[in-house]
């Protein structure tokens, strides 16, 4: 085992390449290893095996979203909880059976430390041609011995508008040159709205065609921020196949299904017990409570608007019962 920059809190501990050409990674008391088909995670009280395609797709979201809101479950056993400054890496913490058997384990890390290790692992374990953000139909496979890399794909910049897409100086609208229309959205109209601003307001008034913008998304299950009003973030995304993580909410999320269909499996956040199945079709609106975890299935590429409240006070207000886990009472 080689340890790089031991006195640096973000130091990545990586081994020399193993038999299959991949580095092992050590993060605190967790150890990560991959071979041709699997990722192996070990901790002091247990070990767990995940298919490498599932593992890399989940890892890609955790890295790109900087640990997102609340819990990112890679599957029913391992994942992360964001404390916004530090991150828990856990095994079995939200799995009743692991907890009862006392095989669950959690370790907290400063965000930069876990972030750098995850980034290094994602880059080392992703081979040429595999894009963890792409739908399975639009990427090569991740299996086999180490063969090249795909750094450009795994370090994609996430769209985060300061005000709104299309505002001068902010995120730009997408064009044929940068983002060709996806094969499943060939019928989406590409016209842009006409803006007639009063003199003097030309740089303050903007509009864009959100459907056209989303039809050109080259990634799946990746909410990007297209408009911001204080803590209110519009985070639309295009979905295809299965959400590669099970997201555990620490606040309410609103979903607006903009096209096609997503089937959601909604479970209790802490135990994983099934709570409901929700099928959302174009035009449907749902509020996902603050105490659930959910995973979506999208049979065809679909457009979903995720409306997030980014207030840093929400998790504590909900945890202490001062705010409800649901958004509205009828
Ligand atoms: Fe969620």
pLDDT single digits (tens) 75-101:
999 999 999 999 999 999 999 999 999
Q: Ligand 1 center to residue 183 CA distance, Å?
A: 27
Q: Ligand 1 center to residue 294 CA distance, Å?
A: 6
Question: What pLDDT score was predicted for residue 9?
Answer: 64
Question: What pLDDT score was predicted for residue 203?
Answer: 83
Measured between alpha carbons, how far is residue 260 from residues 135, 184, 247, 304 in Å? Answer: 16, 11, 21, 9
Cα 136 from Cα 178, distance rounded (Å): 22
Q: Ligand 1 center to residue 6 CA distance, Å?
A: 36
Q: Ligand 1 center to residue 271 CA distance, Å?
A: 16
Q: Ligand 1 center to residue 250 CA distance, Å?
A: 8
Q: Ligand 1 center to residue 35 CA distance, Å?
A: 31
Q: Under a CB-based contact definition with an 8 Å cutoff, are residues 231 and 264 in contact?
A: no
Q: Ligand 1 center to residue 225 CA distance, Å?
A: 15
Q: Ligand 1 center to residue 245 CA distance, Å?
A: 10
Q: Ligand 1 center to residue 290 CA distance, Å?
A: 8
Q: Ligand 1 center to residue 330 CA distance, Å?
A: 22
Q: Ligand 1 center to residue 266 CA distance, Å?
A: 10
Q: Ligand 1 center to residue 65 CA distance, Å?
A: 12
Instruction: Report residues of the chain scoring pLDDT below 50.
Output: 1-7
Q: Ligand 1 center to residue 134 CA distance, Å?
A: 20
Cα 254 from Cα 9, distance rounded (Å): 37
Question: What pLDDT score was predicted for residue 7?
Answer: 46
CB atoms within 10 A of CB 265: 17
Q: Ligand 1 center to residue 153 CA distance, Å?
A: 24
Q: Ligand 1 center to residue 254 CA distance, Å?
A: 9
**Alpha carbon 110 to its chain's center:** 19
Name the strands in the sheet holding 2-3, side by side, starting at the edge strand that comes first in the sequence.
2-3, 13-14, 25-27, 30-34, 38-43, 46-51
Q: Ligand 1 center to residue 246 CA distance, Å?
A: 8
Q: Ligand 1 center to residue 54 CA distance, Å?
A: 18
Strand partners, 320: none
Q: Ligand 1 center to residue 253 CA distance, Å?
A: 6
For 85, the token pair is 């400054």
Q: Ligand 1 center to residue 248 CA distance, Å?
A: 6
For 249, the token pair is 């909410």
Q: Ligand 1 center to residue 264 CA distance, Å?
A: 11
Q: Which tens digits make up the pLDDT trace of 208-237?
A: 999 999 999 999 999 999 999 999 999 999
Q: Which tens digits make up the pLDDT trace of 146-173?
A: 999 999 999 998 889 999 999 989 999 9
């Amino acid at each position: 085992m080689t340890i790089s920059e031991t006195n640096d809190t973000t130091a990545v501990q990586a081994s020399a390449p193993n038999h299959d050409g991949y580095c092992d990674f050590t993060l605190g008391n967790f150890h990560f290893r991959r071979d041709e088909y699997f990722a192996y995670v070990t901790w002091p009280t247990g070990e767990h095996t995940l298919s490498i395609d599932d593992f890399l797709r989940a890892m890609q979201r955790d890295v790109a979203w900087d640990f997102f809101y609340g819990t990112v479950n890679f599957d029913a056993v391992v994942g992360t909880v964001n404390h916004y400054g530090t991150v828990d890496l856990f095994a079995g913490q939200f799995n009743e059976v692991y907890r009862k058997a006392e095989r669950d384990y959690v370790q907290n890390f400063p965000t930069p430390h876990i972030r750098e290790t995850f980034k290094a692992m994602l880059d080392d374990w992703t081979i040429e041609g595999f894009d963890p953000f792409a739908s399975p139909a639009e990427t090569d496979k991740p299996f086999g011995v180490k063969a090249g890399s795909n750094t450009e794909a795994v370090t994609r910049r996430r769209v985060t508008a300061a005000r709104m897409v299309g505002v001068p100086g902010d995120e730009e609208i997408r064009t044929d040159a940068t983002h060709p229309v996806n094969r499943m959205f060939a019928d989406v109209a590409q016209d842009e709205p006409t803006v007639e601003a009063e003199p003097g307001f030309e740089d303050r008034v903007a509009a864009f065609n959100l459907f056209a913008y989303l039809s050109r998304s080259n990634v799946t299950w990746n909410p990007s921020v297209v408009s911001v009003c204080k803590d209110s973030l519009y985070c639309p995304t295009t979905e295809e196949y299965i959400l590669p993580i099970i997201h555990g909410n620490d606040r309410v999320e609103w979903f607006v299904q903009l096209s096609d269909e997503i089937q959601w499996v909604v479970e209790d956040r802490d135990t994983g017990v099934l709570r409901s199945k929700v099928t959302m079709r174009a035009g449907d609106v749902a509020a996902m409570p603050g105490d659930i975890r959910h995973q979506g299935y999208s049979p065809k590429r679909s457009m979903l608007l995720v409306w997030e409240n980014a207030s840093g006070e929400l998790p504590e207000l909900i945890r202490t019962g001062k705010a409800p886990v649901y958004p509205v009472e009828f």
